[in-house]
A and B are shown apart, each in its own frame.
Chain A
């Protein structure tokens, strides 16, 4: 394969040189117009041949590069798939083990109280599996479903997400702050699906609540940055180790600290999918033992014009 590429690349050059030599060598001294033409033909065929060679070589180089990129992408996708399956397997194993143990207890434990406990545990584990399956479906559906484009009132959305966070378990032991700029002008609308965007902010806050400790501070801010609306959820929690940071947005990923914490491991993956469906992006900055800030950037919608009839639908 490789040699054939070399042959194809070099052939035009060699033929060009050969033709040029032939034209030059067959040059005789008679001052004829034809001779000049033959000399020019030599130069021309040399140039043409070498040019074709260079083009062919460049073409092959580009082709090879594209091929390499494609192979790398395929290998990455395969690796991602393997990783996902490994995590899914792990995620299924624990509840299934618990269910089997619970069922064994059900048949063997003599006391009524023990049986009731076993039954409750089996039920809790099946609910956990149901939630996992529901979350997986959400992710799969998010990738294909049509995303609604309505004007979304960002401050109203943030207030709603914030008030829900305040009702969450553990919220009372943490300091929760919300800051939304009023000056120099209020935040513009986002064009999008109000329910999905609310879910994204909710998941970020939920995540921060889960991974911070009592006494920590949680902040939800939003501001305008050029053509984007930036929504940040910051905490003074334990922080995320540097090697784990690129993975936290992945499906079913659990960091070292996340082992004992309940949840499907899909919350942040959902946030990323929602951001991407809105042409936005997610990122994070974190320092160990200091805290983490999760950032959601979304393109600001057009300013509401007079002809815009639809009202923001996320008004509380």
Chain B
């Protein structure tokens, strides 16, 4: 039997840790809890967890600062941020500063488990995640995450800002089934009744621009009734 993955759950709200920790334990993880950023850094140094679930808003040392210090120190333990404000800036920051993924509060605990499993599957031990890289490539498709430009065969594509965000998320989460609701949350920051159609519209826009055939996709595959998956091989560029 494989050892259980160990998770460090960091949140100052005991109401949240008290309920989430047993849930995560039941879901097959070894769970440790820290109630602030300083404690989290200590426990990362001593316990070497496989993954951190990190709340952003905390007293003393907030989650953002913990993330920054770990990454600056060359520690690439996978981190899942729990964002609260739901502002687009907060979400962009999460991925830019090297979080592996994030989840907006309030969330369904089952969704948290699904995110944790996906991040653990994707993690390359000791190496930066794709989301820490400024330039990503899939064949002749290049995404510059700083300038938000997309190049295909060295020609720049004209895309709406949301299509670029969607592509960014797909590229940083390759080979992962991403539900429409998840994409909606990523790109718009909130779900709404008309949302899942909006996702389909943007995916169609991306496919047109990338000349991707849904029947034989090189980039984005439709998983009927479930969502989308990025099927290309993604590499980091210097």
With an 8 Å Cβ cutoff, the count of chain A residues facing the other chain is 26
The answer to the question of A173 belonging to the interface, with a C-beta cut-off of 8 Å to chain B, is: no
Residues of A participating in the B interface, judged by any CB pair closer than 8 Å: 129-130, 133-134, 137-138, 141, 144-146, 148, 150, 160-161, 164, 194-195, 198-199, 202, 206, 309-310, 313-315
Name A310's closest neighbour in chain B (CB-CB): B158
Contacts of A141 in B (CB 8 A): 86-88, 189-190
Contacts of B86 in A (CB 8 A): 137, 141
Contacts of A199 in B (CB 8 A): 192-194
Shortest beta-carbon distance, A249 to chain B, in Å?
Answer: 18
Inter-subunit contact B191/A160 (CB<8 Å): no
Inter-subunit contact A148/B190 (CB<8 Å): no
Instruction: Report the separation of the CA atoms of residues A310 and B157 in the bound assembly, to the nearest whole angstrom.
Output: 11
Pull 24 A–B residue pairs with CB atoms less than 8 Å apart, ordered by A: A129-B106, A130-B106, A137-B85, A137-B86, A137-B190, A138-B192, A141-B190, A144-B87, A145-B88, A146-B161, A148-B161, A150-B160, A160-B194, A164-B197, A194-B198, A194-B201, A195-B162, A195-B188, A195-B194, A195-B198, A198-B197, A199-B192, A199-B193, A313-B205
Shortest beta-carbon distance, B57 to chain A, in Å?
Answer: 14
- For the complex with contacts A137-B85, A150-B160, A160-B197, 19 further pairs of A-B residues with Cβ separation under 8 Å are A130-B106, A133-B106, A134-B190, A137-B86, A145-B88, A146-B161, A161-B194, A164-B193, A194-B201, A198-B194, A199-B192, A199-B193, A202-B193, A202-B194, A310-B158, A313-B160, A313-B202, A314-B201, A315-B201
With an 8 Å Cβ cutoff, the count of chain B residues facing the other chain is 22
Shortest beta-carbon distance, A263 to chain B, in Å?
Answer: 11
Contacts of A133 in B (CB 8 A): 106
Instruction: Report the separation of the CA atoms of residues A164 and B197 in the bound assembly, to the nearest whole angstrom.
Output: 10
The answer to the question of B195 belonging to the interface, with a C-beta cut-off of 8 Å to chain A, is: yes
